[in-house]
Structure 1
Amino acid sequence: MERTGTILRGREFDPVEGRIVIDEDGRIEAIEEASVDSDDLILPAFVNAHTHIGDSIAKEAGGGLSLEELVAPPDGLKHRLLRAASRDELVSAMNRSLRFMQRAGTAACLDFREGGVAGVRMLEDAAAGLEIDAVSFARESADAMRAGDGFGASGANDATFDREREATREAGKPFGIHAGEVDESDISPALNLDPDFLVHMVHPEPVHLERIAESEIPVVVCPRSNLVTDVGLSPYEALDERTTLALGTDNVMLNSPSMFREMEFLAKLSALPADVILRMATVNGAEIADLEYGLLEPGRAARLLVLDGDSDNMAGARDPVRAVVRRAGVDDVREVVFGDR
């Protein structure tokens, strides 16, 4: 199998005109420079590094409510709606969100999964038959973590999570935790757990930034969600100077799980360069979950996004990386290739 066009190759996304060759095992065999008759733009498929797709049953519910009123366990609006829904309703709604993400160029989402072991099984059922990887960071118990792909903690002000952290080490699975979303009070105890990644980090103090730089713990930022819930915006440039950043769309209740929208939003409210943001949306999230894709280079699993570079929206773009990050959208997607399936 091969695809032709302008290929955003490697970690720097160097634009190369030519063809990308995929072997029978679904891996990238070669990227060959050549003159080709194609306006397509080929880039790695996205990795959405933080989602809560269980609340797909509650899209745009709770307008005007605070973050605590919306999502705080156990009685936030989201949790009341989850308890009221049937299993079939929850699975169907999650399936719809996964289908949208797949069509919009997302190869994997890292989902903080409510509902214990049963919640993990629901996500598995929602993803059945799809090509997107729904990576389950289970919550509520170590048993749920063992059933899923890792543990996703709500925040260090909710519990200590020491036992869950130790359980993830024993199981060889990653541990992520929300931190610094509303204020700085839960950041130090979250860092004390030595997590594999942090989510949000809207309110770090200088001491927290120093600790992040020393530990190099990756941070997943969710700018649209933070704006909608009115908690503020992360210090993106300061975090980028100190560690690896990845990008997530957070609650489907609040935002469409579109990485195109998330990238554009971040690009236009921050000073981060386009190539940094594209890495945040691809390889950086992939590395958090130890996935074998996220870059276009020989040996990687071939999960590709093919955009129509001659669409009315994209035609004439002078800088392909900047165009992907700031301009492209779902309507420009020609094909999503899951070569490893």
Structure 2
Amino acid sequence: MEELSGTVLAGRSFEPVRGRVVVEDGRIESVEETGTTSTDIVLPAFVNAHTHLGDSVAKEAAVGLGLEEAVAPPGSLKHRRLDAADRSELVTAMRRTLRFMQRTGTVSCLDFRESGTPGARALREAATPLDIDPFVFGSGDSSVLDVADGYGASGANDNDFADQRAACRERGVPFAIHAGEPDATDIHPALDLEPELLVHMVHAEREHLERVEERSVPIAVCPRANTVLDVGTPPIRELLDHTTVALGTDNVMLNPPSMFREMAYTAKRFDVTAREVLRMATVAGAEIAGLDCGVIAPGRRAAFIVLDGDSDNLADSVDPVEAVVRRATELDVERVVV
């Protein structure tokens, strides 16, 4: 049995509880309000709802490039770098990124893995020695589902993904697809595929939002990457008003996969509350992937971040949720419990 004391951000509302979390056999036994002198802040571990970890072989290589030149398939800089990387180089680069994510509080990520079945196997190998378990959205033909957890399509204007959609339905695994990143032309075709997850939706309009709400399709947004690629600003407030929205960091070549940076950027740039942003960074991504984490409640998997609430950065904060979302950094992490 293990106890973590301090200010616990409990439940889906992240209500600050001064007390402790009791953990037994890897699961939360109880959340108890009790006297404590600890200044720690205990919050759920993050689930990064959209990454491209293969980009780890080319960090900052696309500085100054737009979407098409930087990341669009098949001939962008990203894909040329992926084609040139040997397997050992790729696995090592992805493992280093996963290790950074693990150390900074991310328990899982929903990764769109390029290069078909070999790419999915490389990511599995990269994650093997670590305490972070990526949810792999594979690419290529439907056989990738023998290795991957679901299918991740580049976009409805890039290819006909009907076979992959059907294969996902047959196997009972999720189909995810990019939509509305450069413009709105691929959003309706993407929705026609009845995906379990849409990514980006920067250019979503009312007619798209109505379809999303009708079908309860969750959306992963990546606002920092959208800014770097200069594709526009996702309508996060409107998206939240219509469906579940989760937070992702997107391409490692563009930004570090820091959920602290992504939360702070989102909270300060968009019409959202700190609790909404923290929910986007934790339980929303977990529920999309069917993971038993993202919330501190009895019976749930024990996956926590413990922050030093008395660090030079966080000391004297008047609201722990606002402090976690808008101010906390990786330097405030005392430990990650998974």
Hey, what does 1:292 align to over in structure 2?
292
Counterpart residue identity of residue 311, structure 1: S
Could you list the per-position Cα deviations for residues 38-71 of structure 1 after superposition, in whole angstroms to 9, with x for gaps in the alignment? 0000000000000001010100002211111111
The Cα of 1:2 is off from its aligned counterpart by 1.1
The Cα of 1:141 is off from its aligned counterpart by 1.6
1:41-60 mapped onto 2 (5 Å cutoff): 41-60=41-60
Could you list the per-position Cα deviations for residues 207-232 of structure 1 after superposition, in whole angstroms to 9, with x for gaps in the alignment? 11111121111010000000000000
Q: Distance in 1 between matches of 2:17 and 2:64?
A: 47
The DSSP-based 3-state class of the residue aligned with 2:134 is strand
Unaligned runs of 5+ in 1: none
1:177-216 mapped onto 2 (5 Å cutoff): 177-216=177-216
Hey, what does 2:308 align to over in structure 1?
308
The DSSP-based 3-state class of the residue aligned with 1:133 is coil
Counterpart residue identity of residue 178, structure 2: H
Of residues 290-299 and 55-64 in structure 1, the stretch that sits farther from structure 2 once superposed is: 55-64
The Cα of 1:337 is off from its aligned counterpart by 0.1
C-alpha RMSD of matched pairs (Å): 0.7
The Cα of 1:158 is off from its aligned counterpart by 0.8
Q: Distance in 2 between matches of 1:127 and 1:20?
A: 28
Hey, what does 1:84 align to over in structure 2?
84
The DSSP-based 3-state class of the residue aligned with 1:151 is strand
Unaligned runs of 5+ in 2: none
Counterpart residue identity of residue 130, structure 2: L
The question of whether the paired residues in 1 share the 8 Å contact of 2:216 and 2:243 is answered with yes
Of residues 208-217 and 246-255 in structure 1, the stretch that sits farther from structure 2 once superposed is: 208-217
Hey, what does 2:280 align to over in structure 1?
280
The Cα of 1:336 is off from its aligned counterpart by 0.2
Counterpart residue identity of residue 244, structure 1: T
Could you list the per-position Cα deviations for residues 62-111 of structure 1 after superposition, in whole angstroms to 9, with x for gaps in the alignment? 22111111111111001111111110000000001000000110000110
Q: Distance in 2 between matches of 1:184 and 1:313?
A: 41
Hey, what does 1:19 align to over in structure 2?
20
Q: Distance in 1 between matches of 2:148 and 2:238?
A: 33
1:5 aligns with 2:13: no
The Cα of 1:201 is off from its aligned counterpart by 0.2
Q: Distance in 2 between matches of 1:62 and 1:239?
A: 29
The Cα of 1:7 is off from its aligned counterpart by 0.3
Q: Distance in 2 between matches of 1:217 and 1:298?
A: 28
Q: Distance in 1 between matches of 2:12 and 2:134?
A: 24
TM-score scaled by length of structure 1: 0.98
Hey, what does 1:141 align to over in structure 2?
141
Q: Distance in 1 between matches of 2:204 and 2:136?
A: 27
Structure 1 residue runs of 4+, over 2 Å off? none
1:1-341 mapped onto 2 (5 Å cutoff): 1-24=2-25, 26-338=26-338
Q: Distance in 2 between matches of 1:27 and 1:272?
A: 31
Could you list the per-position Cα deviations for residues 16-38 of structure 1 after superposition, in whole angstroms to 9, with x for gaps in the alignment? 011101112x0000011101120
The Cα of 1:277 is off from its aligned counterpart by 0.4
The DSSP-based 3-state class of the residue aligned with 2:290 is coil
Q: Distance in 2 between matches of 1:140 and 1:259?
A: 29
Q: Distance in 2 between matches of 1:189 and 1:283?
A: 28
Counterpart residue identity of residue 10, structure 1: G
The Cα of 1:115 is off from its aligned counterpart by 1.1
Counterpart residue identity of residue 50, structure 1: H
Q: Distance in 2 between matches of 1:282 and 1:237?
A: 18
Q: Distance in 2 between matches of 1:147 and 1:44?
A: 28
The question of whether the paired residues in 2 share the 8 Å contact of 1:146 and 1:171 is answered with no
The Cα of 1:15 is off from its aligned counterpart by 0.3
Q: Distance in 1 between matches of 2:218 and 2:209?
A: 12
Counterpart residue identity of residue 99, structure 2: R
The question of whether the paired residues in 2 share the 8 Å contact of 1:70 and 1:78 is answered with yes
TM-score scaled by length of structure 2: 0.99
